[in-house]
Each structure stands twice: as C-alpha cells, then as structure tokens.
Structure 1
Amino acid sequence: MNIIKSAFVSIICSSAFFSTSAATLPEAAPVVVKASMKYYVSEAGHDSNTGLTQEKPFRSIQRAADMTKPGDIVYIMNGVYTKDEPTANILTIDRSGKEDAWITFQALPGHSPRLKSKNWNAIKVEGASYIVIDGLELEGNADNIKLDYALAQKDNKNNPATSGNGIYICQKGEQKPHHITVSHCKIYKFCGGGIATSHADYVTIEDNLVYENAFYAPYGNSGISTYQNWNSDASTACKMIIRRNISHHNQNLVPFFAVGDITDGNGIIIDDLRNTQNNSKLGQYKGRTLIENNIVYGNGGRGIHVYCSDGVDIVNNTVYMNSQHPKITEGEISVVKAADIKVFNNIMYASKGRPANSIHDANGTVFDYNLVFNGKFTGSQEHNIIDKNPLFTDEAKFDFTLQQKSPALEAGTSSLRATRDFLGVQRPQGTAVDIGAFEKKQ
C-alpha cells in the first residue's frame, strides 16, 4: 500500500531513503474501508473538479477534507503535496466522524503520495475524532536547515522552518480529539516531532516508520510522543496504543527552550499523563497505555521514556543503542516520576558503558523477563537475563530477528505479552514467548 513495505524485514541502504541503513516494516494488506462517499485527490487534479472519481480528482487534500462527513474516505493518489504558506498546514483535519462512521485519509491502493512539508505541520488533527490516517509518506524540512541556523533560532518559538511536525493531534478550543488511528505511514526529517499527540484520548499509532526527526526545534520533540492525555470517559482500560512501529535516529541538537539544555529526542515518550505541567486542569489520566512490538534504535534520547505518567505497559520491544546524545544518560528504557509501570519481555541492548535502563521516583515499577546486554541494569526482579548477547541476525544492518541460539528464545512470560509479534507471528511458538519484538517461527 505504500513504499515503506517489504515482504519481510529487509534492509534498505539507498541514500534516497535513509542516511543510515534501516529495518523496514512488514508487508500489510490495504485497509478496506466501506465509505459513505469517496473523494479522490491527485497532483494532476483541480479543486474545481467534483473529486468523486479518479478521472475528476481534487488537487489539494484540504479541498477534500473540507467536504468530508462521517463515514467518508479521502483517497490520495500519486504526487507530491505541498503548501506554500509556511504558517499553515498541508492538511488540517477538523471535521469528525462518528463511532460507527470514521473519516479516513488513505493512500489509494497502489499509489505512493508524499506530503513534503516546510510548514508547522504536514497534518494537523485539530479537535477532530474518529479519524484514520493511513499509508502516507510525510517528508519534513530538515535537509534545508543547517545546525548553525537552528542554534541561532533557538529562542524563536514561532519559526515553522525549524519547528515543523509530521502529524500533530491536538485540541481546538475546548474540543479535544479522541479515537484517532495513524497507521502505515512513513514520517521523516521533520525538525520538530514525528507523530505527536497533546490532550488526546483513544489514539492508536501502529505500523509506522518514524526517523530522523526532532533535530532543530527548541521544543524538546521526539519521534513518537503522547503528552497530557485527557479522559474522554471514565474507563481505566488500555486506550492509548503504540505498537509495531520503527522509530530510529530521532534526536535533539537544539536545547529545549524551557530548560536551556538537551532533554529529549526519544524514540517513544509518554509525557505528563499526570497533567502537572502548564497549569493543566485535565487531572490524572485514568486509562492505560500499551507500548508493544516496537523496534527503537539509534535515537539521541532514550529509546522508550515514561515521564510523570502512570499506568503504562512496555512489552516485547527491541530497544537498541539509544541515548546517543552525551546529555542523555538514562539508557534504553527509562521510567521517571511514574507509577504502575510494567516492563516485560523487552530486549535492551545498550551502548557500551551506558545504562541499559533508569528508574527514578517510580513506585510500582517492575522490570522483569527482559534481556539486557552491554549496559548497567537497574532492577532486582529475578527473571531478567543480564549481560547476555541476544544474538540478532545482523545488528550491523539493524536486522533484529533472533538467531537459533539466542538466549531470548522462550525466555519471556505469557502473563503480560503481545499475542503476536512485529510480523504478526502468533506467540508463543514454543513453550514460552520469546523476548523482544520478534517471535521465532518453529
């Protein structure tokens, strides 16, 4: 359905796609949507067209978005989509679907549209709910920015050239977003965040490739982030899901304006779900967050970071050589000012001499059934495997599948596990689940 897929976890070395070699996402069948109305957008279209057929498409995605009603789908065809006005967004989604009639924005099957952004956001979901964004490629502005310029702009919080985001999900006035899915997208080279939520609920972020973001903004952005979730209902069930994503080589090179230092550039961060910052009146978030089957590597910040948040399950992730920035010393998975955090079945492969994990002011946090290699591990649970090489198939090429003799095989727990792995393989294949994002077929 889009260009980042391959039949298996293959390695793409072409500089046209990455500045470093990188794992890619597994092949996925196109999402089939039963739509009330179908709109089509093409680089060769015109906004005076009806947009109702592939032969009469709109030119801009925004034109189609402004027509949508619950249950509609916007199919985006081949082309490069831009917006000349930097302070605007290429696409603003502010019209909501309904519980049984979501609005979908999707690459037309067989097409590979690209949104190329120098704007505040390539896509902004503003106060809308019941929205799907699927199969799109989003490219940011980082290749056009030099570090000297970004550092000179470090006190300028109103410059989209240095602070633009890929997908930003946030409130509009008093209207807060809920029930949003972002899937099968490729999001890279944004000076700000890759995928970010603020004051949202029931968000699923899955099967995305997010890399080389957050370099130049003064906002302390990361690859994937959720900030200050809100309670759209009283449910304490799992409502925020981050799974089967690849998040790599995101980092901060410009200090966060609030503290004057490098603070983030994480692969994934769950941030202030207690709602303690910026005079928030939202109150403690009641739902749980699930982070499972992600591959997170080479980030300047921590691989997975839970900060000032409670109720997070971190399960069956492969987290490799993060905390690359010298200012970040908290390792692969860190839990700070948090409670009720469960970290199970993860591979934490640290840079030599750096911590594998960090736990600070974190009551009820349990790290167990994890495999830790290279770095110092903090924790006392007895089932962790310490200082054993996980024996990846080819770590030099970021192929994190497991060799036949890996100590991670059948070493996890089924009490808290992802039922399928990164590739969709059923767990367990043997007598117990494998540790990490991949389950070895038997």
Structure 2
Amino acid sequence: MRRTQVYGTASMLAVLITLPGGAAHAVGTRQATTFYVSAYGSDSNSGRSVTSPFRTIQRAANLTNPGDTVNIMNGTYGDTSTEGVVQITRSGAPGRSITYQALPGHRPVLKPVTGWNGIVLIGASHITIQGLEIKGDSDNITLAEAKKGASAERPRFNTNCINTREDRVTGALSHHLVIRNNYLHKCPGAGIGVLYADHVLIEYNRVHSTSWYTVFATSGISVYEPVDVAPPAPGQEYKVVIRNNISYDNENKVEWIVCGCISDGNGIIVDDTKHEQSDKRPYAGRILVANNIVFNNGGSGIHSYLSRDVDIVHNTAYLNSRSPALSNPNIGAWDSTNVNILNNISYARPGKATNFTYRNVNVRHDYNIYYGGLPPQVRGPRDLIVDPQFVSPSTDPASANFWLRPTSPAIDSGVTFRAVQRDYFGTWRPYGAAHDRGALEHVR
C-alpha cells in the first residue's frame, strides 16, 4: 500500500496488510493438498474444493500433512472441544509448513466461547497461521462475573486467541511457527501466547482488548520461556522475531492466581528466557522486537522480563501502564541481561514509569525519545527527553495517528541497526539522511 493513502485516512490502525494466499503445490514426492472449510460445509464432504468444503477447521487439521494448506471461507466458527475452535497437533516439515489461512477474499471469524483457545498448537511445528480473525467472548462477560467466577479450571474467563503449549504426552514442543497478519481481539485470556517454543515469527498482527478476565496474567503478545529445540539456520541472527504488530487495550483486570495481585496486561512481553521460573535450561537464542506500535495497555507497552539477549528497536509506545495497580515501564527491561533498547519513541502516561534499571546487567539505552511520565531511571548519551511530535496521538484506535510531523526531533536522528532495514509499512530505512526513531519513517 502507498503510505500517502494511509496518511490521509482517519486511522492508520484499522488497516491490516493482506498477504497472498497459498495454493496446492508439489512438495517432495507427494502433491500437497489444499483443504477448504466453510460455515455451510459438512465434515462428511471431501474438503478438497470450494464446492465440497468441511464444516469445521478441526476436521481439516486432523488430516493435514507437510506442505498442506487449509483455506477457511466466510462464516463464524465456534468451539469444537474444550480445547477451543481448533487444536493443531500435526506438524509440517522443513520447507513444507502447514498453512492455516483465510481463503483470499474471505473474512472468516473464529469465535471461542466455552473452550480454552481460538487456536492452540500442541507440540506442532512448521505451522503458519495467517489472515484470520479470532474474536473472543469478552463482550458477554462483566468484570463482576469474572471476579466471582475466577478460576484456573474455567476456560470461559481464560480463553486465549492463539496459544502454544507442549504435548503433555510426548513432551514435543512447537517450533518454526509463523503467526502473521491476524486480527485478534476480545479474548479474555492472551492475544498471542507462545509458551515453550522455538523459531517463532510474529508479524503484522493487530491484537487488542485481550487479557481482561483471566487469572493467568497474560498479555497482548507474550513469548514465555522459549526453549532451544533446533539450532539457528546458517546466518540466522534471531530465533524469535516480534515485528510490525499493533497491540493496544490489553489489560489484566482480575488478580493473577499466583499472587492475588494485578500483573501483566502488556502490549508485548519477552518473559523469562533465563527460565528462572522453571527447571529448563536458559534460552540461547536471540530475540528481536522491532517496528511495533503499542498503546493504552494496562501494563508495559513493551518490556523484557527475566530475559537476556533481546533487541528492542524502532518501536513506538504511547500511554501504556494504564492499570491503576501498575507502573510498568512504557518501554524497557526488568531483571534482564544483554538487552539493546534503541531508536524507540516512548510517550509515557503521566506519573507512570518511563523505563527501569532494576537488576539489569549490560542493558544499553540509546537513541530513544522519552516524553511524559516519570523521569527515565536511565538515559543513554543520545537519548532525548522531548515531544516526538506525532501527527495525532490518541488512545482511540479510530483516530490515533503516530506519523511524525515534519519538525519531529525523531527524524534523521536514529542510529543504523542492521537487522531492521524497513519500517512498519515497509519503507526502506533510512528514507532521509539517517534512520528515524520509532516504528515509522517520515516520508517527505
């Protein structure tokens, strides 16, 4: 899309980038299969054409093999088990991922209500999930109901949009996952919760209004205790990448069952790669968090917690830590090691933390812009405390516009970071004389 088209609209946040759909193709010695699912189909159909689609995504998931594609057509898809709408247990293979996606031109909605998840990956690997909408049932839950019914055994108040977990029978862990271009909202639990996984790409997702009613301290996007399943590919610098996402209005409103306190509800969190909360070995992979726009979340916009080897670069955070119970950093690190926090714009909520220094070791802050909130606990030599001059900042997603005005001090004042060569909308960095700070390059 042309940036000028988006700049002229009331909101740049309502736009999802639509990626091309998949198709059947030759994979190895077998012809990959494309399955079709329709709200008006039948699980007794062949599922091999748009005229003979399955009724449930689960039926297709039970038949997939490496290289297959599941095309989901218009309609609403509800729970098929206590696990939720669909549980994915069958894996693809290197170079032959299994893809779950909206059929091009269609807008299916997965609607978990009584199950634990919209989509859950249980030890499944080489999986791509793209172009889907998952809408939870939070509109039909009140805070009073959630507090009264709060329980680790009641999925209705804890439903995640997308979740991964280990296979509790085989011990298999998910790896080589792509979660791309999905619209995830109103799930009482996590938006995207990636647990015990490896080689993960999370990009171009819009995640909002999640985590309100769960007792599990979830967030909009969370990577929790990743595990080294496979070594990096030759030349691969990052094993986990979280980029080009928009995450807002995620908040924990019910106490975390572990402490009886409000926690998390972050826009994006990299959580415990050191594995200090488990007996697993610390994660050896490096993680990149880049080009994300996070605003009006209950906890942090973005932060690294109990983690190491994380690069938080070129993000835009606006008025996070809205929960009265929290003063999390707008963008920052907490009890972390070997973290780079560079080229970000952090516009903090009045009276709330800008960043943290608590038990950090070798955490570098530089080339960031800070504005509002409490004074930064740490400043790099080229960090600025100055108004970034957004075009029209707002916590209202219908009107929020975080483009930079032509006079913004963020323009041409960042540092080159080799791993982030484009901005949120795909514009090459630098567009001008030098990299701009934040998620969006200013286009003259």
TM-score range, shorter chain: over 0.9
Q: Distance in 1 between matches of 2:292 and 2:165?
A: 24
Are residues 1:350 and 2:348 paired?
A: yes
| Cα shift at 1:97 | 0.4
The answer for the alignment partner of 1:50 in structure 2 is 46
Aligned residues of 2:392 and 2:400 also touching (Cα < 8 A): yes
The answer for the alignment partner of 1:241 in structure 2 is 241
Aligned residues of 1:211 and 1:248 also touching (Cα < 8 A): yes
Q: Distance in 1 between matches of 2:167 and 2:218?
A: 21
- Greater shift after overlay, 370-379 or 192-201? 370-379
Aligned counterpart in structure 1 of residue 70 of structure 2, from 69, 74, 84: 74
- Greater shift after overlay, 393-402 or 38-47? 393-402
The answer for the alignment partner of 2:14 in structure 1 is 24
The answer for the alignment partner of 1:436 in structure 2 is 438
Aligned residues of 1:224 and 1:267 also touching (Cα < 8 A): yes
Q: Which amino acid aligns with 2:95?
A: D
Q: Distance in 2 between matches of 1:162 and 1:26?
A: 28
Q: Distance in 2 between matches of 1:362 and 1:153?
A: 38
Which SS does the other structure have where 1:360 is aligned? coil
Distance 1:37 1:293, change over 3 A: same
| Cα shift at 1:31 | 4.2
Residues 181-201 of structure 1, C-alpha deviations (whole Å, 9 max, x = no match) = 010100000111000011100
| Cα shift at 1:25 | 3.7
For 1:27-106, list aligned pairs within 5 A: 27-33=17-23, 35=25, 36-83=32-79, 85=81, 87-106=82-101
Q: Which amino acid aligns with 1:126?
A: I
For 1:404-415, list aligned pairs within 5 A: 404-415=406-417
Residues 176-225 of structure 1, C-alpha deviations (whole Å, 9 max, x = no match) = 00000010100000111000011100011100000000001111110000
Aligned counterpart in structure 1 of residue 202 of structure 2, from 202, 205, 208: 205
Residues 101-148 of structure 1, C-alpha deviations (whole Å, 9 max, x = no match) = 110001000000000111200100110100000000000011111111
Unaligned regions of 5+ residues in structure 2, if any?
Answer: 26-31
For 1:41-440, list aligned pairs within 5 A: 41-83=37-79, 85=81, 87-118=82-113, 119-154=115-150, 156-173=151-168, 174-235=171-232, 237-277=237-277, 280-375=278-373, 376-386=375-385, 388-396=386-394, 397-415=399-417, 418-440=420-442
The answer for the alignment partner of 1:18 in structure 2 is none
Unaligned regions of 5+ residues in structure 1, if any?
Answer: 1-5, 13-20
Aligned residues of 1:25 and 1:246 also touching (Cα < 8 A): no
Which SS does the other structure have where 2:145 is aligned? helix
- Greater shift after overlay, 313-322 or 391-400? 391-400
Q: Which amino acid aligns with 1:146?
A: T
Which SS does the other structure have where 1:359 is aligned? coil
Q: Which amino acid aligns with 1:403?
A: R
Q: Distance in 1 between matches of 2:244 and 2:161?
A: 18
Q: Distance in 1 between matches of 2:6 and 2:356?
A: 33
| Cα shift at 1:416 | 5.2
Q: Distance in 2 between matches of 1:319 and 1:10?
A: 22
Q: Distance in 1 between matches of 2:343 and 2:157?
A: 37
Aligned residues of 1:116 and 1:140 also touching (Cα < 8 A): yes
Aligned residues of 1:251 and 1:266 also touching (Cα < 8 A): yes
| Cα shift at 1:434 | 0.3
Which SS does the other structure have where 2:339 is aligned? strand
Residues 268-293 of structure 1, C-alpha deviations (whole Å, 9 max, x = no match) = 0111111121xx33201000110000
Q: Which amino acid aligns with 1:441?
A: V
Q: Which amino acid aligns with 1:81?
A: Y
Aligned residues of 2:21 and 2:103 also touching (Cα < 8 A): no
- Greater shift after overlay, 390-399 or 66-75? 390-399
Q: CA RMSD in A?
A: 1.9
Which SS does the other structure have where 1:8 is aligned? helix
Distance 1:84 1:72, change over 3 A: closer
Which SS does the other structure have where 1:63 is aligned? helix
Moved over 3 A (4+): 9-12, 25-29, 31-35, 234-237
Distance 1:33 1:367, change over 3 A: farther
Aligned residues of 2:58 and 2:80 also touching (Cα < 8 A): no
| Cα shift at 1:84 | 5.8
Q: Distance in 2 between matches of 1:315 and 1:34?
A: 37
Q: Distance in 2 between matches of 1:34 and 1:9?
A: 37
Q: Distance in 2 between matches of 1:165 and 1:258?
A: 18
| Cα shift at 1:415 | 3.8
Aligned residues of 1:267 and 1:297 also touching (Cα < 8 A): yes
| Cα shift at 1:51 | 0.6
For 1:6-17, list aligned pairs within 5 A: 8=6
Q: Which amino acid aligns with 1:438?
A: L
Distance 1:24 1:194, change over 3 A: same
The answer for the alignment partner of 1:16 in structure 2 is none
| Cα shift at 1:353 | 2.5
Q: TM-score, normalised by structure 1?
A: 0.93
Instruction: Name the count of aligned residue pairs.
Output: 426
- Greater shift after overlay, 304-313 or 76-85? 76-85
